[in-house]
Amino acid sequence: MTQELSIQASENVKQWLQDPSIDEETKRELEGLSDQPLELEDRFYKDLEFGTGGLRGVIGAGSNRINRYTVGKATQGFARYILEQHGSAEGTPSVVIAHDSRHFSPEFALEAALVLAGNGITAKLFPSLRPTPQLSFSVRHLGATGGIVITASHNPPEYNGYKVYNAEGGQLVPDEAEKVISYIQQVDSFAAVKRLDQQEAEAKGLLVWLGQEDDDAFIRTVADVSVNREAIASTLGKDFKIVYTPLHGTGNIPVRRVLEEVGFTNVHIVAEQEQPDAEFSTVKSPNPEEREAFTLAMKVGQEIGADLLIGTDPDADRMGAVVKNQAGEFVVLSGNQSGALMIYYLLSQLKEAGKLPSNGAVIKTIVTSEMGATIAEHFGAEVFNTLTGFKYIGEKMTQFEKTGSHTYLFGYEESYGYLAGNYARDKDAVLASLLICEAGAYYKAQGKTLYEVLQELYEQFGYFQEKLESRTLKGKDGLAQIQAKMSDWRSNPPQTVAGQAVTQVLDYSKGLDGLPKENVLKYMLEDGSWFCLRPSGTEPKIKVYFAVRGDSLDDANARIQKLSDEVMARVDA
């Protein structure tokens, strides 16, 4: 059965087939793959890696797949970490658990809860799908020791994932994750995973089901971030036409509740995408970064004459927005454009109300546009850069909260993740949906569309343009190709690109600017443009980010096209 496999894969297959902890159905599934050595190799050539964000992988049997066994093993390691962190504190440590609409998400969430219970940790579990940002909020709101969310964000349907959170409600940063990883690696067999059955866990009070009051607290807290609530409730919310698609995910109920809570009453839902669907059957990808995801929303928007279309990804931590240009055509805003609009709206309204703090701070990542930073600095806010991943923004927020050095105003990533307010430590598409709708309604009352406001921002702050290219390279060979490409760019940096001299190479694997070490390369050009290469932490991709600032939009578009064409020619070679 394993003659054509690598030594590592062969050994892993043998262990699974001989392990009495593995159920017979799983063993039969593996035996049925005996004539598919390539499939077995991919399932077993390594253990599914627990990165700084947790696990993410294809669902199925195998050490390099996400399943109840890999989830249980990860939870056993996390349980030990929780118990170590809890130390001698009084009471029982607790972990809040949420899940999205994907295949096996409820089962994996319950499995994690029962393993925690087996380790004497109270699992507080949502009974049905909830957004990732609500998990982050609930960890803080309930004073829990940690959190787990079962989701693969906007990955294809065959994926699922497992993310862990600290007591601050943020995803684990590298030093925390390294401890958890070391504990997971010490779980030498699935028999070492401690687990109670559901009935016993409930009877001992170690499995607690969360309810309506926990949902209500989240909705109220998000709604309180509104900066023009009275105006929305009295007039603006009735006249502003919104089309919303949850893309078959967790956002449907909370987004609609928050919009209604603040006063938006003209909200139209894309019926075909309203209900949870693990196959995401109406879209190629449930990703609000992509225009195709809004095909049905655009149809509804055209029919009703919508002012704004919004969509959230399956776990409702990313929000995409679609506006109309002067020709009446739908335009999907980039994450950078939506971020710039929200920063300008939020900070200008706080200033107008006399509520803009003198020590305000905006946090963004190193691959996010400088346009939002320029706007923030215009309003006197200090801008901080972090590595890619909202966990780093959350970590910075916690630093501000503990030291009082700055007042957090807004944080965002180019990948459609935003947060205003201090209630969570992860990006929140529920809040972003509220904020972009509120901005749209406010400017509509002034006779402007969000598209027109964006053009005004370009004129005032500069013609910034950004672009993201990615290449998917799956499996063992793909991983090797990605590593080889990064090594080539690192050891052979270009001297000039697109007619511009490379003035600086920032290799973040060395730990620049006090940031953790990460496999990221950023090249600064003499005209202020830059591009950045980064392997994805959640998908088998290498991502390449580009940013320019031109004299006009046409000039900026020409610059970024020339830059991306030249860089990608080498990446693809």
Phi, psi at 359, each rounded to 5°: -110, 30
Task: Please give the Cα distance from 247 to 359 (Å, whole number).
Answer: 38
Question: Are 377 and 451 spatial neighbours (Cβ–Cβ below 8 Å)?
Answer: no
Strands 207-209 and 159-165: unpaired
Count CA atoms within 13 Å of residue 114 on its CB side: 17
Query: How crowded is residue 252: how many other Cβ atoms within 10 Å of its Cβ?
Result: 23
Which among 173, 563, 101 has a CA at the least distance from the CA of 389? 173
What single DSSP character describes residue 128? S
Following CA atoms 42, 174, 149, 82 in sequence, which dihedral angle do they give, to the nearest 10 degrees?
110
Query: How crowded is residue 431: how many other Cβ atoms within 10 Å of its Cβ?
Result: 27
> Which of 94, 136, 138, 153 is labelled catalytic?
153
Query: Using H for helix, E for strand and C for coil, what is the string for 509-541?
Result: HHCHHHCCCCCCEEEEECCCCEEEEEECCCCCE
List own/partner pairs for 216-221 with CB under 8 A and 24 or more apart: 217/137, 217/141, 218/134, 218/137, 218/138, 218/141, 218/254, 219/254, 219/257, 219/258, 219/261, 220/261, 221/137, 221/141, 221/421, 221/423
- Catalytic (active site) residue 153: yes
Query: How large is the greatest C-alpha to C-alpha distance in the chain, in angstroms?
Result: 73
Q: What is the DSSP string of 282-293?
A: T-S---TTSGGG
Structural tokens at position 490:
């690192």
Which among 465, 427, 459 has a CA at the least distance from the CA of 547? 465
Which are the catalytic amino acids?
153
